[in-house]
Amino acid sequence: MGGEVRHWNADVNGISLHVADQGPADGPPVLLIHGFPELWLSWRHQMTALAARGFRTLAPDLRGYGDSTVPDDPAAYTIFHIVGDLVALLNHLGLTKVMVVGHDLGAQVAWHLCLFRPDMVRAVVNLGVPFFPRGPNSLTEAFAGCDGLYIMQFQEPGRAERAFARYDVATVLKKFFSVEIDDLSAPPGVEIIDFLEARSSPLPWITEEELRQYAEKFQKTGFTGPINYYRMMDTNWRLTAPWQNAKIMVPTKFICGDKDTGLKSFGTEHFVKSGAFKSVVPNLEVVVIEGHHFIQQEQAERVNSEILSYFDKFTGEKA
């Protein structure tokens, strides 16, 4: 059903972007944007389900990940570079309007794609990370003094990489994939990767072979590229000043696990449920389902049905 996954690289926006592509070439296109620390592979269940329903799924490895280019310069990882890669990819394929699914940091990318190029997005389904309007302070100002917070530990060049290097790559990934705590912060003087625990038993939603596939790619690329996304968050805040008070006008469904770390911290749950979220994303549906952070893998069938039921509303429209 849906055919095999096709793999190819496209030279776009000054880099080579690896894309996993499944489903009929002339089907309604869906762009799938992965998060940290993931790959196109995170969408394997959604690609199969969407392709079987006639959609063409396009799941790139974002810059810095997998088989895409890994720029050395941290400044090459701003939100404008990442969204620029995706716009260039769609232009390369001659696609003027697509449906989009994002997860985690990929949801942040998807929100900004909607913000910068709403003309290219017919509808978006985002998982785990809501759209937070641009605040009065940069990230490091907002979280000053929170040294245990993973985002703050990721700021200093080399710090997280040195800590990660104490473990094999599969263990690093498993520590993040196993997260079930409400706050991704380490105690004073402790590195987040040392604080996180890797489950001794296999994760129920990822096979050892799939974990090996992830590990093989991160072994090749390292973690600096992915961590550079976080290092550019203050720069992103400064550069997105023109979008102050801008709303996401694209039709949106937001799906979150009820036990997602992100939902439980920074007042996110109140923001999502209080009406504040809908005030900045007016055309919004919210669905909270049972599960943790890596919801599209952990609760694949439920997430697939939520995506399909939403996108079915838009497939009759002309591009």
Backbone angles phi, psi at 73, to 5 degrees: -75, 120
Distance CA 128, CA 115 (A): 18
Parse the chain into domains and list their residue ranges: 6-312
Phi, psi (5° rounding) for residue 149? -65, 130
Residues identified as active-site: 104, 230, 293
The predicted model scores a pTM of 0.96
Omega before 37 cis (within 30°)? yes
pLDDT, mean of residues 174-194: 90
Q: Please tell me the predicted confidence (pLDDT) of residue 316.
A: 67
Looking only at the bridges linking them, the beta strands covering 121-127 and 252-257 are parallel
Rounded CA Rg of the chain:
18
Which residue has tokens 């923001």? Answer: 271
Percent of the chain with pLDDT over 70: 98
Query: Is 174 in contact with 198 (CB distance < 8 Å)?
Result: yes
Q: Per-residue pLDDT tens for 231-261?
A: 999 999 999 999 999 999 999 999 999 999 8
199 pLDDT band, cuts 50/70/90, is confident
Please give the CATH topology (third level) of the domain spanning 6-312: Rossmann fold (3.40.50)
Does residue 200 or residue 174 have the better pLDDT? Answer: 174
CA–CA separation, 224 vs 21, rounded Å? 26
Q: Look over the chain and give the mean of its residue pLDDT values, rounded to a whole number.
A: 95
Instruction: For 280-306, write each residue's pLDDT tens digit.
Output: 999 999 999 999 999 999 999 999 999
Predicted pLDDT at 148: 92
pLDDT of residue 213: 97
Q: Are 191 and 153 in contact (CB under 8 A)?
A: yes
> How is the chain classified by DSSP, letter by letter?
---PPEEEEEEETTEEEEEEEES-TTSPEEEEE--TT--GGGGHHHHHHHHHTTPEEEEEPPTTSTTS---S-GGGGSHHHHHHHHHHHHHHTT-S-EEEEEETHHHHHHHHHHHH-GGGEEEEEEES---PPP-SS-HHHHTTT-TTBHHHHTTSTTHHHHHHTTS-HHHHHHHHHT---S--BPPTT--HHHHS---SSPPTTS-HHHHHHHHHHHHHH-SHHHHHHHHTHHHHHHHTGGGTT----S-EEEEEETT-HHHHSTTHHHHHHSSHHHHHSSSEEEEEES--SSHHHHTHHHHHHHHHHHHTTTTTS--
Chain segment 92-136, per-residue pLDDT in tens: 999 999 999 999 999 999 999 999 999 999 999 999 999 999 999
pLDDT tens, residue by residue, 13-50:
999 999 999 999 999 999 999 999 999 999 999 999 99
| Closest among 153, 129, 175, 143 to 295, alpha carbons compared | 129
Neighbouring C-alpha atoms within 13 Å toward the C-beta of 250 = 29
Mean pLDDT throughout 70-75? 97
Give CA 110 to chain center in angstroms: 8
Structure confidence at residue 319 as a pLDDT band (50, 70, 90) = very low
Amino acid identity of residue 110, one-letter, is A
Name the residue with tokens 């968050």. Answer: 233
Mean pLDDT computed over 208-236: 97
Q: How confident is the model at residue 318 (pLDDT cuts 50, 70, 90)?
A: very low
Q: What value, to the nearest 5°, has the Cα angle with vertex 316 and ends 313 and 319?
A: 110
- Is the pLDDT assigned to residue 224 strictly greater than 60? yes
Contact criterion met (CB below 8 Å) for 177 and 208: no
pLDDT at 184 over 90: no
Contact 19, 40 (CB under 8 A): yes
